[in-house]
Homo-oligomer: A and B are copies of this chain.
Amino acid sequence: MGETDLSGTVAVVIDVLRATTTITHAIANGAECVIPQLTIEEAQQQHVANPAALLGGERGGERIKGFDLGNSPTEYAPAVVAGKQILFTTTNGTKAMQACRAAELIYIASFANLTPLCNELAEYENIQIVCAGTEGEITREDVLLAGAIVDHLTADAPLIERNDQAQIATDAWQEAKSGLTASSLAQRLKRSRGGRNVLRIGLEADIEIAATLDSLNVVPRLDPKSWQIRDSRIS
C-alpha cells in the first residue's frame, strides 16, 4: 500500500494467514507478551539475553530450526504460552509491524478478535490499515479483513472518510459478507494466495481457525516504544 508516513496515526497490522491470527491466540492464551523480531538472527540474539522466552515463527511457512514454536495458532496453547514472553518472527507479518514503527499505536488484527478490536479502534481518528501481503503484493485474505474492519467502523458512521483502498477492501468484504458463515469465509481464505500457501504445507486447520469470527476477546497491541505486544485492556 505504498510508502505511507504513519506518524501520528493508529496502525492496524493484518496478516490473517497466519502471523496476526497466531499472535491473537497467543495473547488470548495468556502469553505475557509477543516481541516481534525482523530476522531469525535478531530473535536468536534476543533469546541469548532472555533465555526464558519462547522462540516462535516461520520461514517458508515452516517452524524455524531450533525454534520452540512455528506459526500455527494451535501451537500457542495455554499450557505452552501462559506467562511466557515470545520472540516471534515471520516472513511478512513482522516486516509489516516494523513498517508501522512510526505509528502512535499498532494494533494486531484477526478475524478472531474483529469485534473487540473494532470497538477499541472506534475511539480513534486517522487509522491506517496495513496489509502484510506476500512478497510485497497485497493478498485477498488480508484485504477481506481490512474490509471487515472498515465496514465495522463506518457502519454507524457513514460520514467517516475512507480512502480508495479502504473502499476497495469494503467492496471485497461486502461480497464475502452476504450469506457469510465460518465455512464460507474459510473457503474464501483457502482460495487466497496466503491460503494456497498454507494448504501447500498441509495446515488446512490453521485456515479454519483463522476464519473463525470473534472467538477471542482480546485486543493485542504493539507498543512502538517497548516493542511488545500485549492485550491493550490489561497492559
Residues on A close to B: CB < 8 A?
1-2, 135-140, 143, 163-165, 167-169, 171-172, 174-176, 191-193
B136 near A164 (CB under 8 angstroms)? no
Q: Is the interface of A mostly helix, strand, loop or mixed?
A: helix
- Select from chain B the residue with minimum beta-carbon distance to A167: B140
Number of this chain's copies in the assembly equals 2
Which residues of B lie under 8 Å from residue A1 when comparing CB positions? 137
**Bound: A2/B169 CA distance, A:** 18
A143 near B168 (CB under 8 angstroms)? yes
The 5 residue pairs across chains A and B that have the minimum distance between CB atoms: A171-B172, A140-B164, A171-B175, A164-B193, A139-B164
B2 near A136 (CB under 8 angstroms)? yes
User: Given A136-B2, A137-B1, A192–B164 Cβ distance below 8 Å?
Assistant: yes
**Bound: A167/B191 CA distance, A:** 10
Pick from B136, B140, B174, B193: contact of A175, CB below 8 A: B174
A172 near B163 (CB under 8 angstroms)? no
Chain B nearest CB, measured from A148 CB (Å): 13
Pick from B138, B175, B176: contact of A164, CB below 8 A: B138
